[in-house]
Amino acid sequence: MASKGKLSEEFDVLIIGSGPSGSVAAKWMTEAGMSVVLLEQGDWVDPGDYPGDKPEFELAGGKQWHPAPNFRDHERDYPINTKESDVEPLMASAVGGSATIFGGHWVSFLPSDFRVKTLDGVADDWPFTYEDQLPHLLAVEHALGISGTAGNTAYPPQGSYPTPNIPIGKVGNKLASGLDKLGWHWWPGPNAMPSIPYNGLNPCARRGTCMFGCNEKAKWSPDLNFIPESIKGGLKLIPGARVREIEYNDDKQRVTGAIYIDRNGRERRQLAKTVIVCGNTIGTPRILLNSKSKTFPDGLANNSGLVGKRLMMHPFGLVMGHFDEDLESWRGPSGMLIETMEFYETDESRGFVRGAKWGGMSGGGPLSTKGFVGSEVFVDGGKIEDAWGVNWHQMMDRRFGRTGLYAIIGEDLPEESNAVTIDDDLVDSDGIPAPKVVYKTSENSTRLLDFHSARAEEAMLAAGAIETQVCPQMRESGWHLLGTCTMGLDREKSVVNEWGQAHDVPNLFIFDGSTFPTSGGANPTATIMAVAHRQTMHMINERRNVETA
């Protein structure tokens, strides 16, 4: 397809997407002296515009700042057909990607996560181990200024975090006391927010509005340091650039760059010797499936037929506990106060395989008293008078400021029927075909959530909760998007190799969470960034050998 724009300069590397994964590649590659261009469909966000420091923040979180693109309806987002999905995928389109609104819960995967086939006989082992990615995790943690406490017994020894733990507050102490009574594992929460000034970030001020964006410039996101540093180092960032397709030259058998639509609706072509896709687990397969050529009529690098398949979204459980004392539970960070991995590893006597990590958090602002970050999860039944009038006031008195919660992040096993495809009709504001998500929660996930929710309720009661609420699975809980361009050694069964290089196209790479063979049961960004760093360093080291266009 011909581009109307004039021919651009050819860069060593073209990265698509400026979230955690793309920004890792941009930072370390520009530092290594490579010429890098980064196309990002979103715009810069001014931290002053985040709603967190404004009284209306929770109202805004229900619409303009909602984490689901289908709810927000921003022109920079692409719509997603989710009619056949049990879960709504959540993300942001911005310089900095979804990290602009992520919770900053920093939880790296465990050794067993890389070996689920060997240990539990399910899904697939990763082509590398926990130990292989560890140095990369540590490099990323150092760059971000993660706050945390060394010695977590859920992990092999790892050394200390670059900044001290943020106070876990009254809620964190309360939740920890319950786990302590039961003799269960807990640890103060590591977070992607420093407790002291660090590498351009301010210390976390415990405002507690992390998932509405951080006004303090404390919660890490790429736009705060990685991207500006990279620009200083020569990165060419083009915001508002929406990639329609990656171009493949059938004769040379290489990709040559990408066609994108700029902010003014003009079609442009960007040339590069190597293309790295970091559009996230929905955005990346969408681009590949939209990139058709004689060689790849079913989508770029899709000889395996697996592009878009094996979508994983962590099953999410929520258990709230209300206490008989003022815990100032609107305080942050949110962010994790504490975490527990007590039931992380497989015990088949529970009726399911794999497990979950729980994050202990504060209840949040006053409007969240009946919900969780903008989503009303506990629906009233019966006569309205049961929930309103004096009863509403009494409910607020009982719960607001007195609530702790466990956010349960369960492992999702890969299934080919859970998939991202291209919708027949839906397009974004530039007319580019939009994705469709088909996703059913599995029996294993349902059992896992039932078990974990029951244990979390026990933990709340042990901590002294006078009232608990176990939430049925929330639809708007697709925070963690993984799979869809699986990494593996067998080209018939995977899309990219262990270095994120497409089996079918030597100068095409994918560095985001779409390459994860399995999902772990932990918030994924630490591991997404560690893996992106591993792939980036490999590319830098091998750059002379990488075949180029």
Partner 1 sequence: MDKLNDEDRKTFAVLADYLIPEYGNKPKATAVGVHQELLDKVLAVRPDLSTDFIRGVRFAAGNDVSDALNTLNKDDRIAFDAITLVATGGYLMSETVREAMGYPGQEPAPYDPHETPEYMTNGMLERVTLRGPIYRPTPRDDD
Ligand X SMILES: Cc1cc2nc3c(=O)[nH]c(=O)nc-3n(C[C@H](O)[C@H](O)[C@H](O)COP(=O)(O)OP(=O)(O)OC[C@H]3O[C@@H](n4cnc5c(N)ncnc54)[C@H](O)[C@@H]3O)c2cc1C
Helix (H, G, I), strand (E, B) or coil at 63: coil
Decide whether 44 or 128 has the Cβ nearer to partner 1.
128
CB 93 within 8 Å of CB 14: no
Decide whether 90 or 485 has the Cβ nearer to ligand X.
90
The residue with tokens 């370390």 is: 28
Decide whether 322 or 332 has the Cβ nearer to ligand X.
332
Burial class, 429, CB count within 10 angstroms (exposed 0-12 / middle 13-18 / buried 19+): middle
Backbone angles phi, psi at 48, to 5 degrees: -65, -20
Phi-psi region of 151 (alpha: psi -120 to 50; beta: other; left: phi over 0): left
Residues 71-100 binding ligand X (CB under 6 A) are 90-91, 93-94, 97-99
Binding of partner 1 by 11 (CB under 8 A)? no
Dist. CA 5–CA 445, nearest whole Å: 48
> Closest distance between ligand SF4 and the C-beta of residue 358, in Å?
19
| Residue 156 binds which entry of ligand SF4, partner 1, ligand X, none, CB below 5-8 Å type-dependent | partner 1
| Residue 425 binds which entry of partner 1, ligand X, ligand SF4, none, CB below 5-8 Å type-dependent | none
| Residue 489 binds which entry of ligand SF4, partner 1, ligand X, none, CB below 5-8 Å type-dependent | none
Binding of ligand SF4 by 373 (CB under 6 A)? no
Binding of ligand X by 530 (CB under 6 A)? no
> Closest distance between ligand X and the C-beta of residue 89, in Å?
8
Decide whether 317 or 335 has the Cβ nearer to ligand SF4.
335
| Residue 9 binds which entry of ligand X, partner 1, ligand SF4, none, CB below 5-8 Å type-dependent | none
Q: Which of 5, 548, 1 is nearest to 269 (CA)?
A: 5
Residues making up the chain, counted from first to last: 549
Question: Which residues make Cβ contacts (< 8 Å) with residue 142, sequence separation at least 6?
Answer: 162
Binding of ligand X by 242 (CB under 6 A)? yes
Binding of ligand X by 169 (CB under 6 A)? no
Dist. CA 82–CA 435, nearest whole Å: 9
**Number of chain positions touching ligand SF4 (CB under 6 A):** 16
Question: Which residues make Cβ contacts (< 8 Å) with residue 444, sequence separation at least 6?
Answer: 352, 353, 354, 413
Backbone angles phi, psi at 449, to 5 degrees: -65, -40
Dist. CA 544–CA 493, nearest whole Å: 28
Dist. CA 393–CA 375, nearest whole Å: 20
| Residue 214 binds which entry of ligand X, partner 1, ligand SF4, none, CB below 5-8 Å type-dependent | ligand SF4
Residues 494-533 binding partner 1 (CB under 8 A) are none
Residues 36-55 binding ligand SF4 (CB under 6 A) are 52
Binding of ligand SF4 by 208 (CB under 6 A)? yes
Binding of ligand SF4 by 171 (CB under 6 A)? no
> Closest distance between partner 1 and the C-beta of residue 167, in Å?
5
Q: Which of 228, 260, 259, 257 is nearest to 241 (CA)?
A: 260
Dist. CA 340–CA 250, nearest whole Å: 51
CB 110 within 8 Å of CB 527: no
Name the β-bridge partners of 105: 191
- Token pair, residue 296, equals 């790849």
The contact pattern for partner 1, residues 358-397, with x = CB under 8 A and - = no contact, is: -------xxx--------x---x--xxx--xxx-xxx-x-
- Token pair, residue 532, equals 């992106």
Decide whether 18 or 442 has the Cβ nearer to ligand X.
18
- Token pair, residue 425, equals 């009709």
Q: Indicate which single residue of 92, 140, 168, 218 sits in contact with ligand SF4 (rule: CB under 6 A).
A: 218
Binding of partner 1 by 196 (CB under 8 A)? yes
CB 499 within 8 Å of CB 545: no
Binding of ligand SF4 by 209 (CB under 6 A)? yes
The contact pattern for ligand X, residues 252-281, with x = CB under 6 A and - = no contact, is: --------------------------xxx-
| Contacts with ligand X, residue ranges (CB under 6 A) | 16-22, 39-42, 67, 90-91, 93-94, 97-99, 101-105, 211, 241-243, 278-280, 283, 287, 479-480, 512-513, 523-525, 528
| Contacts with ligand SF4, residue ranges (CB under 6 A) | 52, 193, 204-210, 214, 216, 218-219, 332-333, 335
